[in-house]
Amino acid sequence: MEGNYYMIQDYLIFIGVFAIFFFLTVSIYLFSQNQKFKIKNARISEANKIIQQRLNEVQLEHIGTKLNPHLFKNILNSVQSHAYQTYMSLDKLANVLDYILYESNNKFVSPKEELNFALSLIEINKIKINPLFDFRIKSKIDKSDEIYEEKVFAPLISVDLIENAFKHTDFLAQDSFISIQMELEDRIFIMKVSNKASLKNILEKEKSGFGSQSLDQRLKMIYNNYYSLQKSSKNGIFTAELTINLGEFYDKMRYS
């Protein structure tokens, strides 16, 4: 009886050791498979990020190929329709064309370069309107701002807001006006454009085509959570205000 007792005891010990060994083997195997699964998921996630980044780049390039000829055509139409002022506009036109042909192909330009371009574009568009027209422009630029000459500004971002103001303004209305404000302070860029528009132009603006869509797409793809674009229409006055936190975006570029 005592011999049987020891045999049973040894058998139970063997079963216990085997169970522990089996459990450890299965655990190691499952852990190994889990690690492989995590590595595989990480590689898939990284590949998806690369693909998405490339898609965004291709989409931005496609937008640029449409935007530049469109802008170029509008500028030439402005100059041609007021030939008597062409000589005065040549200097501004040269600046604008240089920017479009050379700088706009870069992924980013400095706020200094974009603001100079915007001011030249405004001057060219002004030749289309009566000298007595109520045109207001205010520029508050802190040139000592640390990002003033840093490559953080997507080129031609200011085009859509400026061109829409001139395109949709009711120049015949007695109380008509265009107001453009540009600010760069504390690493934040603000551009606010307001104009008096007829009801027809307001409806057209709500159905605006490529220009407005491309601006929204570019801002979302480039600046993501670092910008806001607010548009409103009240009593025939259309207002668009763009704010870009260039400082935080610049920090992200440096440390990512």
Work out the average pLDDT over 223-229. 93
- Total length of the chain: 256
CATH superfamily of 69-255: Histidine kinase-like ATPase, C-terminal domain (3.30.565.10)
CA distance linking residue 205 with residue 227, whole number of Å: 22
Q: Which residues contact 226 (CB under 8 A, 6 or more apart)?
A: 244, 245, 246, 248, 249, 252
For residues 188 and 217, the model is more confident at 188
Backbone angles phi, psi at 118, to 5 degrees: -60, -45
Nearest to 197 by CA among 242, 239, 136, 134: 239
Q: What is the pLDDT of residues 42-55, one digit of tens each?
A: 666 665 566 456 55
For the record, the structure tokens of 149 come out as 């000459």
Q: What is the pLDDT of residues 234-249, one digit of tens each?
A: 888 899 999 999 999 9
Q: What is the pLDDT of residue 131?
A: 79
Domain spans, the chain: 69-255
User: What is the residue-wise DSSP string for the chain?
Assistant: -HHHHHHHHHHHHHHHHHHHHHHHHHHHHHHHHHHHHHHHHHHHHHHHHHHHHHHHHHHHHHHHHHHHHHHHHHHHHHHHHTGGGHHHHHHHHHHHHHHHHTGGGSS-B-HHHHHHHHHHHHHHHHTTS-TTS-EEEEEEE-TTSTTTTSS-B-TTTTHHHHHHHHHH--TTSTT--EEEEEEEETTEEEEEEEEE--HHHHHHHHT--HHHHHHHHHHHHHHGGGEEEEEEEETTEEEEEEEE-HHHHHHHHHH-
Q: How far is CA 80 from CA 30, 74, 86, 131, 156, in A?
A: 75, 10, 7, 18, 22
Q: Which residues pair with 219 in a beta bridge?
A: none
Nearest to 118 by CA among 147, 135, 139: 139
CA distance linking residue 11 with residue 8, whole number of Å: 5
159-168 vs 199-206: helix crossing angle, rounded to 10: 150
Please check the confidence at residue 209 and state whether its pLDDT lies above 50: no
86-101 vs 111-126: helix crossing angle, rounded to 10: 150
Q: What is the pLDDT of residue 236?
A: 85
Backbone angles phi, psi at 102, to 5 degrees: -115, -55
Q: What is the pLDDT of residue 65?
A: 47
Q: What is the pTM of this model?
A: 0.66
Q: What is the pLDDT of residues 129-146, one digit of tens each?
A: 887 889 999 999 999 999
Question: If you compute the radius of gyration of the chain from its CA atoms, what whole number of angstroms results?
Answer: 31
Contact 246, 111 (CB under 8 A): yes
Mean pLDDT score across all residues of the chain: 76
Please check the confidence at residue 9 and state whether its pLDDT lies above 70: no
Q: Where residue 210 falls among pLDDT bands split at 50, 70, 90?
A: very low
